[in-house]
A and B are shown apart, each in its own frame.
Chain A
Amino acid sequence: MESTQQTESKIIELKPFTDEMVVNMGPQHPSTHGVLRLELRLDGEIVREAIPHIGYLHRCFEKHSENLSYPQIIPFTDRMDYVAAMNQNWGFCLAVEKLLEMDETKDFAVPERAEYLRVLICELNRIASHLLSFGTYGMDIGAFTPFLYAFRDRERLLLLFEKVCGARLTYNYIRIGGVSEIIPLEPGSIAEQNYLDEIEGFLDYFEPKIDEYNDLLTSNSIFSERTMGVAVMPAEMAISYGATGPNLRGSGVDWDLRRDEPYSIYDRFDFDVPIAKDIPELGAVLGDCWSRYKVRMDEMKESVKIVRQILAEGLPDGPVMADLKAVRPPKGEIYFRSEAPRGELGFYIVSDGTPKPVRVKGRSPCFSALSALQELSRGLMVADIIAIIGSIDIVMGEVDR
């Protein structure tokens, strides 16, 4: 009798329990997309909590801006989302232009040709950005080859950007009141025609490649297993966290600033806004990693569509810069948002009428999307954390600014 009691008590004593292990993922880690540091509390492979720590790439963009004139700030925006720097330039310039328009005494308009060039270049930049996201996502999940395919295609885009602005990563191409006047695009010249032909050649080459990538990765069954139904972000959650862009549309919210609040000349083009859906036959759940990834893949096709429309119309003649002696906005404040590849990029600028802003605040889409990580990752496995980070597609330069 006694012995049974003893064994019972022993069993209770030996009841297995596991300690939680705290692991620092990053800031040096192959797949935290830069210098994100995650503090993981692990129970074996299961993540009890993932706490993101940011700020490793903080470069005081906002404070710097208070001491610079408006045109001088543009190169700083390049360094925010360095994967889609054209769109960052454009977002800032759009905000400053809105501020300039508030001045009744001056007649100010961005020339038609500049608007076309901006849309052309920024949509190509969107493709380049989504290509990088596709490639690195494949690598996060463990497939190395899509990464090199994506970089092969992105290389052609970078050569195109190099031809208009001489830079491959930080372009500083879009200026306040137009675009930088660079040689190959003189109106009606052979150089311009060659350049447009080159873009068309790229699109002809690239459009079938998207289907190839879908075959290689999107419909791969291991990839689907890894991403479908993982980290589901319902629409309410996406909205409450302020997720925008592909992350929001991946949750099924039909919202795209280019269509719903058209700025520049986006209202002239015909394009669809890809929205994720539940696909029960495949196993995809609305708002999971696969949906967010798939929205990006589809958006590349839409960008191709927009660029094709511009090529069909041809660039209008005329100057590429507005007649602007100095950028000296009137006293006031402005918040302007535009649709960057990673979502809603907003700039809040306070001006006191001097050539330098009093305050510049960037609203970063990655920062908002990253804030959802903690809730998304609870109870998943280590490998899923990587899948989430890749699917919300963060660039730390923009999160930390």
Chain B
Amino acid sequence: MSDFFSDGFFKNINLQDSSNWATDFVQDVIIPRLPEAVAGHFSVELGTVIVMLVCAGIFVAVVPLLPLVLVLAERKVAARFQNRTGPMRVGPWGTLQTLADGLKLIFKEDFIPPQGDKVLFLLAPYVIFACSFAVFAAIPFGQDILVSDFNIGIFYIMAISSVIVMGVIMAGWSSNSKWSLLGSLRSAAQIVSYEIPLGLSILTIVMLVGSLSMREIVASQDGGIFTWIIFRSPFTFIAFFIFFISAIAEVNRTPFDLPEAESEIVAGFHTEYSGMRFALFFIAEYANMFAVSAIGVTLFLGGWQGVLPGYDFLGGLPGFVIKTLGLVFLMMWLRWTLPRLRVDQLMNLCWKYFIPISFFNILGTGIWGLIFKEDDVWSIGISCAIIYIALISAYAIAGRNLARRPEPQPS
């Protein structure tokens, strides 16, 4: 125990480590090519910072393109569900629609409520935008496609994504609108509550893998589909669903879209925003959606690892994106099918069902870890068998209950 404290909680934290490649790059590639007069005064640290900034710049330039695609995808998916065609006018099959929308939003008036808190009002969208994009820094998109391999990767993601709620409250408070305030308080309550089952279900994985690093979590799932964490034990299977539903709640999408419930509180915390500031909220929302799906894929569905072991073509990036978009599509599907819960029902679901189940999961994972010291064919076989039996019996019980449940007859 004393070792534990003397080494520090996070003894592996070493920023020098994670920026090694940039330092190497500066030392080996840039400095030899500089004129000698300059090279003498050129410090490696400065070079490292510059290289990192350039990388971050490329990243920040590329990632916002995701929402651009996702917004269009959402509209097209919604249109399919609703027997419509969706946007068709701008570009071939409406593919440039989001670009046109973005252009329109840039030219719109940037309205600031005169009685509001101006500083917070201006700051809020940037807080949300920055936090939702900072999450991408720790997500391994492929074998070596990772901005920064923190050894506390998933912890960092949890931490940075909870800061979003600050932005939401700032936006709601500073707008000086009662609807915004209601929306932001709803959002705060919701995000804070759902962070708990989310964190607890992530904890089961950390227990199983023994690391917080995203790279190591992915590396532990390299044996094909059956070594993906979702199938590792029956408890992680449950944890996946808790994670996914909590994630939907965390990014405020139907059926948990109370903070921006259009029919109740107009548009929630961003009612008073217009123009580009509104667009920032919009982009952040879709970036968030992609981020939580990507986290779900990384944690539960093998990350960039292929379905068959070793089959990860182009560093696993295409497989990763396909899996993530699958989860994103599931979110869209839910959004265009389900109605919205009420505030008390939302809280009931979290505190009365998800949190107890998550604790049960943690207990179960611990016991599972005691029984099966290492992941072998046996443990995975038994786990898959249990999941299979549980699914079949759940289907049978649900089916019987549904059959017993009287159809709403014409009265």
Contacts and interface: CB of A to CB of B under 8 A. Distances in A.
Interface in A257-301: 272, 274-277, 279, 281-282, 294-295, 298, 301
A279 B406 contact: yes
A277 to B, nearest CB: 5
Interface string B383-407: 0000000000000000000000111
A222 B339 contact: yes
Interface string A223-239: 10110000000000000
Given A275-B411, A294-B408, A382-B182, A145 B254 contact: no
Interface string B60-96: 0000000000000000001001111000000000000
A45 B338 contact: no
A348 to B, nearest CB: 33
B339 A138 contact: yes
A314 B387 CA distance: 60
B25 interface: no
A219 B338 contact: no
A148 B338 contact: no
Contacts of A383: 258, 261, 264, 340, 342-343
Contact of B345 (A42, A220, A225): A225
B181 to A, nearest CB: 8
A226 B411 contact: no
Contacts of B340: 141-143, 222, 226, 383
B341 interface: yes
A274 B406 CA distance: 17
A23 B179 contact: yes
B266 interface: yes
Interface in A350-401: 381-384, 386
B2 interface: no
A382 B182 CA distance: 10
B408 A219 contact: yes
B184 to A, nearest CB: 13
A217 interface: yes
B188 to A, nearest CB: 13
A381 B344 contact: yes
B178 interface: yes
Contact of A281 (B81, B179, B257, B406): B406
A142 B263 contact: yes
B255 A142 contact: yes
A141 B263 CA distance: 8
A218 B411 CA distance: 14
B279 interface: no
Size class of the A contact interface (CB-based, 8 Å): 35 or more
B410 interface: yes
Interface residue tally on B, bucketed by range: 35 or more
A256 interface: no
B370 to A, nearest CB: 38
Interface string A141-164: 111110011001000000000000
B343 A222 contact: no
Interface in B214-263: 254-255, 257-258, 261-263
B265 interface: yes
Given A214-B408, A381-B344, A382-B264, A148 B83 contact: yes
Contacts of A142: 254-255, 257, 261, 263, 338-340
Interface string B84-123: 1000000000000000000000000000000000000000
Nearest to B411: A277
Nearest to B267: A30
A139 interface: yes
A139 B263 contact: yes
Nearest to B83: A152
A46 B13 CA distance: 48
B12 interface: no
Contacts of A42: 182
Contacts of A139: 263
A148 B82 contact: yes
A144 B336 contact: yes
Nearest to A276: B411
A115 interface: no
Contacts of A214: 408
A138 B254 CA distance: 13
Contacts of A219: 407-408
Interface in B162-178: 178
A152 B342 CA distance: 28
Given A226-B342, A381-B343, A218 B410 contact: no
Nearest to B407: A219
Nearest to B410: A298
Nearest to A220: B339
Given A23-B178, A149-B82, A274 B337 contact: no
Contact of A301 (B406, B408, B410): B410
A276 B408 CA distance: 11
A219 B264 CA distance: 22
Contacts of B78: 144
Nearest to A252: B411
B254 to A, nearest CB: 6
Interface string A203-226: 000000000001011111011011
A194 to B, nearest CB: 25
Given A226-B342, A282-B408, 17 more contacts: A23-B182, A141-B339, A142-B257, A143-B339, A143-B340, A148-B84, A218-B408, A220-B338, A222-B339, A223-B339, A226-B340, A281-B406, A298-B410, A381-B343, A382-B265, A383-B343, A386-B263
For the complex of A and B, the 4 pairs showing the least CB-CB separation, nearest first, are: A142-B340, A31-B263, A143-B339, A148-B82
Interface of B: 78, 81-84, 178-179, 182, 186, 254-255, 257-258, 261-266, 336-345, 405-408, 410-411
26 contacts: A31-B264, A45-B343, A141-B339, A142-B254, A143-B339, A220-B338, A220-B339, A222-B341, A223-B339, A226-B341, A226-B342, A274-B411, A275-B411, A276-B411, A279-B406, A279-B408, A282-B405, A282-B408, A294-B408, A295-B411, A298-B410, A298-B411, A381-B343, A381-B344, A382-B264, A383-B258
